[in-house]
Amino acid sequence: MSERIRLTCPDDGLSDDIDHVSPIMLPNPDLSNLHEIENHMRAANSTPGGREALAKFIYTKEYIPKLIPLVEMAEDLESVSDLHRLCSIMKMLILLNDNQLIEYIVRDDIVLGVVGALEYDPDFPLHKANHRQYLADESKFKEVVKIEDDQVKRKIHCTYRLQYLKDVVLARILDDPTFSVLNSLIFFNQVEIVQHLQSNQSFLKELFTIFGPREPSLQRKKDAVLFIQQCCAIAKSLQANNRAALYQNFINSGLLDVIQFALKHHDASVRVAGTDILVSLIDHDALMVRSYIFKAIQEKSKPLTDTLIELLLIEVDLGVKAQMAEAIKILLDPNANSASIEALGRTNSEFLAKVRGQLPSIPQTDSFIQNFYDESARKLFQPLKDLEGRESSKSASSVLCMFINLGQWTILPCRRYPSMPIWWRCSVSSSGNTISAANTSFFLKALRRGSLSLWNAQRNT
């Protein structure tokens, strides 16, 4: 890990051999000489060479374990001044910006002692944090599926602690170099964790089996959805071929069924997670999602687009509703050929061919969209059709204005009605909030006959 960080941050890695720098010696720590230790560290911290020498001394001489017992001793003696000095010393150690030292700090036997000292910030003398209590609480770690590899488990815990250090403990004092090193450590750990889990077929099988009928625990299913959401979020940072492999393994294991389960869940947080997974998948490769939806249509099973439409019409959470609408929009966009797949084709054409070979044949875009407007669009625009016949067209006009405000819409005739005009656009008044009654009536009648297809006007103007 340290070697990888050095490659990405050559200017910030301070753990290299530095024979040309004069060595630094610190006295054995004791409550009586903390002031002396702090002064020595401040002096060394003033020059790049001194920082490098200090980091090397701290790591090779295992100086941090000698400081940790002093925290408990100072607490027993209620010596606030010593606790403040220990906090300042720990801050300086972390801000040395040495990736090897930071990895050492988040080890199981070290981390609680370090954050214990950081609880007594001299900048807030009347306040004591509870970092040890928070990090020692194992109930926050939910193991949806048991991870057998101890090294991966340790890496997960270390990544969690690094994230806590960055976002909570050090959020106020972090400088740019240390922030960069922490982010790099977190990123590489997450990549290694996800790569290991997605390539472990037994793990994937047990994970996706949770959504089967034999699993009675709804809480475990919820946790599994949130876990998959985290994996998909991390996948956005992976290289194109690794990201494609992860999504392919997830889909082969039943990811689309998980999305269907999450979208119908009564808990809004699970629905948000489900739509987030779907949007991530569509952003990665809309064509792949389309191909599986088209396959479901050919097999006479319920396609994902129908599920999205049904939930879009009844969803009360505006955030979820917006994500669902965006997902439908991207799926219907004929130009939504994912940039990530294009990049994958440029960097690894053989892998792309292998992935594509495992997919059902990708349908023609026109056929996919035509099927949508022939079948699914009837459900999507049913609320508009239900407005016909009302005494006032005010409500219908307001709904149509909502569509137009979201983006200009051109109404194209279906092939069944070639005699209709090539295009027809709803006219909006100068105020932008009313539509002529004639156009409203024409729209609703045509929609009832199933003779219209809606298409984004931005691509037809």
Q: Shortest CA distance to 60 belongs to which of 3, 123, 104?
A: 104
Contacts of 180 (CB under 8 A, 6+ apart): 9, 12
Q: Residue 438 pLDDT more than 50?
A: no
Domain boundaries defined on the chain: 2-192, 201-380, 383-461
Q: What is the pTM of this model?
A: 0.68
Q: How confident is the model over 140-158, as a mean pLDDT?
A: 87
Residues 88 and 117 sit within 8 Å (Cβ to Cβ): no
Q: What is the pLDDT of residues 357-410, one digit of tens each?
A: 444 444 456 677 777 888 888 888 887 777 766 665 555 555 555 555 544 444
**Please, which pLDDT band fits residue 139 given cuts at 50, 70 and 90?**
confident
H helical segments located in 332-436? 339-347, 349-358, 365-371, 377-380, 382-385, 394-406
Q: What is the pLDDT of residues 68-117, one digit of tens each?
A: 999 999 999 999 999 999 999 999 999 998 889 999 999 999 999 999 99
Mean of per-residue pLDDT scores for the chain:
76
Please write down the HEC assignment for all residues of 152-214.
Answer: HHHHHHHHHHHHHHHHHHCCCCCCHHHHHHHHHHHHHHHHHHHHHHHCCHHHHHHHHHCCCCC
Q: Which residue has the tokens 């495992």?
A: 358
